[in-house]
């Protein structure tokens, strides 16, 4: 998903949330006025619901905003937590993942279930996989051979031949 689409969706959801908040304000004002004129219980329930929705919306807005920046631009203590603590959060998250998901105790059961030899055997039964493997191995070997220095290879081979033949005693009776 590209950034522009994400921004568009964010604006859409912000507008939706703001619209719901404004709707709750309107319902609260109307029910407050109606409650003075009518003594009906249901109006009180609707008023209480809209009031709770407004308080909840403001609390959620403040909490989410306080995580990422200073609400209303005011440097209130314990706000802008993500920006101020991102290194510590990253280290803690990394440690949590390593200790809870990547430890030998948690990974071992999954690794033991893997039958690598069966997988490789099944994979190699397909002719196109055999051809791909042969081609890749051939390419690697050719690349190695092209990168070898002929004089060094000749020196290495002659040195090894000398080492092997030095101990051979010919014409010994």
- Band of residue 55 on the pLDDT scale cut at 50, 70, 90: very high
Tell me how far apart the alpha carbons of residues 3 and 8 are, in angstroms, rounded to a whole number: 9
Tell whether the model's pLDDT for residue 171 goes beyond 80. no
pLDDT of 172 reads 65
Domain ranges for the chain, please list them.
11-79, 116-160
Mean pLDDT calculated for residue range 128-154: 91
Could you read off the pLDDT of 65-111 as tens digits, one per residue? 888 888 778 888 878 877 778 888 888 988 888 888 888 888 888 88
Question: pTM to 2 decimals?
Answer: 0.48
Quote the CA–CA distance of 33 and 25 in Å, as a whole number.
Answer: 12
**For residue 50, is pLDDT > 90?**
yes
């Amino acid at each position: 998903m590209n950034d522009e689409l994400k921004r568009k969706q964010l604006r859409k959801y912000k507008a939706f949330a703001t619209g719901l908040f404004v709707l709750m304000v309107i319902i609260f004002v109307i029910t407050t006025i109606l409650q003075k004129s009518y003594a009906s219980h249901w109006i009180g329930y609707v008023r209480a619901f809209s009031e709770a929705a407004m308080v909840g919306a403001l609390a959620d807005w403040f909490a989410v905003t306080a995580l990422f920046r200073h609400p209303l631009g005011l440097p209130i203590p314990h706000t802008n937590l993500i920006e101020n603590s991102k290194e510590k959060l990253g280290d803690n998250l990394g440690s949590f993942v390593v200790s809870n998901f990547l430890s030998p105790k948690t990974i071992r059961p999954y690794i033991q279930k893997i039958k690598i030899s069966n997988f490789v055997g099944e994979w190699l039964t397909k002719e196109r996989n055999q051809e791909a493997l042969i081609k890749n191995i051939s390419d690697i070997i050719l690349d190695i051979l092209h990168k070898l220095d002929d004089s060094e290879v000749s020196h290495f081979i002659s040195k090894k031949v000398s080492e092997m033949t030095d101990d051979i005693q010919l014409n010994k009776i």
